[in-house]
Structure 1
Amino acid sequence: MRVGFLLVSLLLAGCAGDDDARPSETRRPVIRERASGPITLNGPTPRETQQCFADLSRERVRYSPLPDRDFGSGCIVTGAVQLLDIGVPVTNLKSMRCPLARTFTAWVRFAVAPAAKQILGSELVRVESFGSYSCRGIIGGGGPSGARISEHGLGNAVDIGGFVLADGRKVRVETGWKSDDPAVRRFFEVIHDSACKRFRTVLGPDYNAAHYNHLHLDMGRGPFCA
């Protein structure tokens, strides 16, 4: 039985596109940006990226296209944007690959904002992010020599810690996921289910201890939802 449990755990870790493979593994692989700074990659903009930019513009999203850059250690971000205004402020965002930005914007607008109003009875006024791009490896990814790049290192993931409502409430993953308030729990159930339909990988507090305070959303491998 013990062997079977370990095999299932390893399989689940392999399915997840990013973040911590298992809660007991805390050693972070040595992956970091090169000290000399990023290298700008010159090349034509792929048609899919051009279409993504057009999609953002059509949805009245304010953004700035960013140059393709190689930060070192496998951290390469291409087809990225800096989101400036999606209709509600979002904290701590750095560069995001355009498909992630497009999906994230739609999730906030058409899932999070309506759920806040309908379930919690107040308008969404801010999304609190733990960040998007970060050059690092996946925790538990096999050590420095064989570490896999996190989706964050590709600008392909964002971590969401909570939301601020017009009535002043701060609804955070850490305290709200298993809140005593059934409306708050329902809110997180709804936005989590919606995220699983939009993003390739969604990891929350039920996945492992490392995600006790945020939802990890990425457009990497998958689909995987936990």
Structure 2
Amino acid sequence: MPDKQFAPGCGLVGTVKLLDIGVPTTNLGAVRCGEARAYAFWARNAVAPAAYQILGSELAKIESMGSYSCRNTVGTSGPVRLSGHATANAIDIGGFVLKDGRRITVLNDWASADPALRQFWDVIRRSACRRFGTVLTPDYNAAHRNHLHLEDDKAGFCR
């Protein structure tokens, strides 16, 4: 995609639009190339197989809450810090739709007592932590109660 600057520190540089990675993802805008590679690999090689093997249904789509957004990091104190979303280097995932019609969301199902759902969340979280530098879940803070934050920043931070 063409490079664009929107505000100091915010912009799209070296971004792509993921059109077909084998797993449809809703609401996904521009993402930086490293983030795109990590996301595509995670969606195809972790989420899709986990849905089938653990939940017994193929994955129909992943519901994204977006990628690029010129904003500060939510829920932090101290000096203002731009979010990874400000450079299209993060994706927020809110849920998954299975081909059998089930919709699994972070907000409603993260703390499920269902052993299969617990295993699904554990597998995809661990896989994300191996592929992204920062992975934030509802276990991190209230700001992430409804989504998984996946960021390609090499920070080695997984919560």
TM-score (norm 2): 0.95
Question: CA offsets, 1:65-113, max 9 Å, x none?
Answer: x011111131022110011111121111111001101110000000000
Q: Secondary structure at the match of 2:150?
A: strand
2:95 equivalent to 1:162:
yes
The amino acid that maps onto 2:137 is: G
1:153 aligned residue (80, 86, 102) = 86
2:35 equivalent to 1:106:
no
Q: What are the equivalent positions in structure 2 for 1:208-223 lying under 5 Å apart?
A: 208-223=141-156
2:113 equivalent to 1:180:
yes
1:87 aligned residue (8, 16, 22) = 22
Q: Which runs of 5+ in 2 are unaligned?
A: none
Please state how far the C-alpha of 1:147 moved relative to its aligned partner. Answer: 2.0
Q: Secondary structure at the match of 1:161?
A: strand
- Separation in structure 1 between the aligned mates of residue 98 and residue 23 of structure 2, nearest angstrom: 11
Q: What are the equivalent positions in structure 2 for 1:23-62 lying under 5 Å apart?
A: none
Q: Secondary structure at the match of 1:85?
A: coil
Q: Secondary structure at the match of 1:153?
A: helix
Per the alignment, residue 13 of structure 2 pairs with 78
Question: CA offsets, 1:27-79, max 9 Å, x none?
Answer: xxxxxxxxxxxxxxxxxxxxxxxxxxxxxxxxxxxxxxx01111113102211
Per the alignment, residue 203 of structure 1 pairs with 136
Equivalent residue pairs, number = 158
- Separation in structure 1 between the aligned mates of residue 154 and residue 132 of structure 2, nearest angstrom: 10
- Distance change (3 Å), C-alpha of 1:221 and 1:103: closer
The amino acid that maps onto 1:218 is: E
RMSD of aligned residue pairs (Cα, Å): 1.1
- Separation in structure 2 between the aligned mates of residue 122 and residue 68 of structure 1, nearest angstrom: 39
2:42 equivalent to 1:69:
no
User: Whose Rg is larger?
Assistant: 1
The amino acid that maps onto 1:104 is: Y
Q: Which runs of 5+ in 1 are unaligned?
A: 1-65
